[in-house]
Amino acid sequence: MCPEQGSGPGTWEGRSKTRFFREGRRVPRQQLQGVPPVKTVTRCSAALQEQPLFAGPAANPAPCAPSPRLNRVPAAGGGAKPAGPRRLRPAMEGELGTWSGNVLDYFLNTNQIKTRDGAEIIWYHAANNKSQMKEAIQSAAHMVEADILLCGEEEGNGEPIMAHPPETNSDNTLQAWLNEIVNTKKGIKLDFKSLAAVKPSMMLLEGIKLHLRRPVWINADILPGPNGSNTVMDAKRFLDTVTSFCPDVTLSLGWTTGWQPQQCNKGYSWAMVKEMAHICDALTQPVTFPVRAALVRQSTSELLWLLQKSNRYSLTVWTGRHDEYSIEDLLYLRENFDKSRVYYDILEPQNSEFRKAIGIEV
């Protein structure tokens, strides 16, 4: 039951030594006979009921129900006065242990890397089926990337599964994947290939929020890029859905791209980076831009300009399986960009060659 207003032990009226303020001065109780009692704020007030006490999926205590988080302070007259609920402080942007926390700070503070250098972060790419997931968990990777589709999307009640087109089936669901990854110390990056998969996936993520205190990146290609397809994720719907369920993630927002051997492959144009900057300007979350290694060197000026728009921005360099690029291209990128703002999710053998070239233990 909610505490009631009125007289009696433990209420404002029942405390003989209580003083009330009236017209800017303190007045003894005996001079306030007949004055209506001062209203107190109880846990049942509409203001408190409208604001959730706890983040994540766990339901708040039912209105008026006793709460174990409610401190009680002895009051004159033998009663107990609620000291007010202990509100959980909302996570601040980039705070250690939050989904939007800086990757380097998190792994530095957990003694998994030695310097604030994005090249130190080891990635496991496409940890989709159960075998790949198990290998990723047992690996030295700091960040595990996986792809999500909606199985049974046509029926309207599909389940998020771990698969990358052209594969549309999997022995692994997102629910099972999260249940395993939550027991590790690894950060995660979820790459969405279907808008329909976003909402049910965010609901599942929200369900483990209190148990997953590490970086969480949510990725989608929202704009057409160099040689890329015009089929992209609807940026507004994607961002609205993600931020409504999980506002404290790091957003990974990219362009569709293509690469052709023995051809002149253009890089990211000014129009492309300016459109991305316009979309991201309204966001408050950290944003990383996945960029294709084979297209980065010819886009240096454009990408430098983009990163200078906000200290919330970073790059994540990735590679296609058959892309041709040189270690010198990566070293050029490293020389021209802040080392703490560029990550390298690249394939072998280039990954080991690059790490060796910059003096990071392989």
* One pLDDT digit (tens) per residue for the chain, 362 residues: 444 444 444 443 344 333 333 334 444 444 445 544 444 333 333 333 333 323 333 333 333 333 333 333 333 444 443 333 333 333 344 455 678 889 999 999 999 999 999 999 999 999 999 999 999 999 999 999 999 999 875 545 789 999 998 888 899 999 999 999 999 999 999 999 889 999 999 999 999 988 999 999 999 999 999 999 888 999 999 999 999 999 999 999 999 999 988 888 999 999 999 999 999 999 999 999 999 999 999 999 999 999 999 999 999 999 998 999 999 999 999 999 999 999 999 999 999 999 999 999 87
Residue 193 neighbours by CB under 8 Å, 6+ apart? 147, 148, 149, 164, 165
Domain annotation for the chain: domains and CATH numbers: 20-85 (no CATH), 103-357 (3.20.20.190)
Which of 290, 361, 301, 357 shows the shortest CA–CA distance to 330? 357
What is the greatest pairwise CA distance in the chain? 95
Can you give the length of the chain in residues? 362
CA dist 343 and 329 (Å) reads: 14
Alpha-carbon dihedral of residues 314, 140, 138, 172, nearest 10 degrees? 20
Quote the CA–CA distance of 98 and 299 in Å, as a whole number: 32
Residue 112 and residue 49 in contact, taking contact as beta carbons nearer than 8 Å: no
What span, in angstroms and rounded, lies between the C-alpha atoms of 265 and 135? 35
Contact between 131 and 124 under an 8 Å Cβ cutoff? The reply is no
Least Cα distance to 183 among 219, 140, 217, 138 occurs for: 138
* Of 51, 39, 46, nearest in space to 4 by CA: 39
Bin 347: left if φ > 0, else alpha if -120 < ψ < 50, else beta. Answer: beta
Give the pairing type, strands 159-162 and 187-192.
unpaired
First vs last C-alpha separation in the chain: 62
